[in-house]
Amino acid sequence: MSVHDVAARTYGTSSDAYERGRPSYPPDAVTCVVDALSIGASSVVVDLAAGTGKLTRLLVPTGARVVAVEPVEAMRTTLLATVPGIDVVAGAAEALPFATGSLDALVVAQAFHWFSVRPALAEAARVVRPGGGLALLWNQRDESVPWVAELYRLMRWRDRPVPSYEDVDWPVVVGEVEAFSPLEQRAFANDHEVDADALVDRVLSTSHIGVLPSEDQAALAERVRQLVAGFPQRFPFPHRTEVFWCHRR
């Protein structure tokens, strides 16, 4: 399976922190995906790179047959604990364990930047049936808020040695795939309510932080706690959820 080494290491050791610290997706973003991809009770939907199931659990109420695909065992274990009874399989985006044209919808949240992008798009085009759909989602922090900008400075975000959503022009790259219609896009406000512990979990479950020596992680956690020391016990961590979708021609 082709999983980036940093992803395998961090998500393999911090799945519980990931579950506690990462934001979910707002209801109107989920409705956008469900409507755009015509997901209903008769649909077969795969949540690829499902992680701990943050998006998976929001698709279950549609009544669709939802299958979660996740390559990292620790993430699958947390997923099964958070979404009991979910159908979860080990697999990677570049070689999906599904027959050609067998899916009505493929959704990928906070993950496509980890894939070998072009092979994964070709694989998506193989497994989604003509008329079916592909949706990509990302939660983006709002760095116009000064403490959020300072948090990402402390995390040395701009020096990180790992791929990121921001590295790829998604409409252009998906637009090169003849099998898919042009990518459409909407954005939704997503204030993630956290306390200091959840914020630390969020930071420590970030891929390039999760591979740091434990003493460096502890020092960063302390600086994060100092950053929000004067805040109310619970406070909003402002995000925007970006939703992209297209259809299989």
Ligand X SMILES: C[S@@+](CC[C@H](N)C(=O)[O-])C[C@H]1O[C@@H](n2cnc3c(N)ncnc32)[C@H](O)[C@@H]1O
The binding site for ligand X (CB under 6 A) comprises 2-4, 7, 11, 22, 48-51, 54-55, 70-72, 75, 92-94, 109-111, 114-115
- Quote the least distance from Cβ 165 to ligand X, whole Å: 10
Closer to ligand X by CB, 110 or 190: give it: 110
Q: In angstroms, rounded to a whole number, what is the distance separating the alpha carbons of residues 102 and 100?
A: 6
* Minimum CB–partner distance for residue 160 and ligand X (Å): 13
CB of 192 to ligand X, least distance (A): 12
Residues 6+ apart with CB under 8 A from 216: none
DSSP string, 191-247: EEEE-HHHHHHHHHTSHHHHTS-HHHHHHHHHHHHHHTTTS-SSEEEEEEEEEEEEE
Residue nearest to ligand X (CB): 51
Using the minimum distance from each CB to ligand X, give the nearer residue, 48 or 127: 48
Q: Check residue 178 and report its DSSP letter.
A: T
Comparing CB distances to ligand X, the nearer of 42 and 205 is 205
234: left (phi over 0), alpha (psi -120 to 50) or beta: beta
Q: Which is nearer to ligand X, 36 or 120 (CB)?
A: 120
Q: What's the min distance (Å) between Cβ of 99 and ligand X?
A: 18
Between 117 and 246, CB nearer to ligand X? 117
Q: Which is nearer to ligand X, 114 or 180 (CB)?
A: 114
SS3 134: strand
| Shortest distance, position 189 Cβ to ligand X, whole Å | 17
Distance (Å, rounded) from C-alpha 177 to C-alpha 16? Answer: 36
CB-side exposure of 21: number of CA atoms within 13 Å? 19
Least distance (Å) between residue 59 CB and ligand X: 11
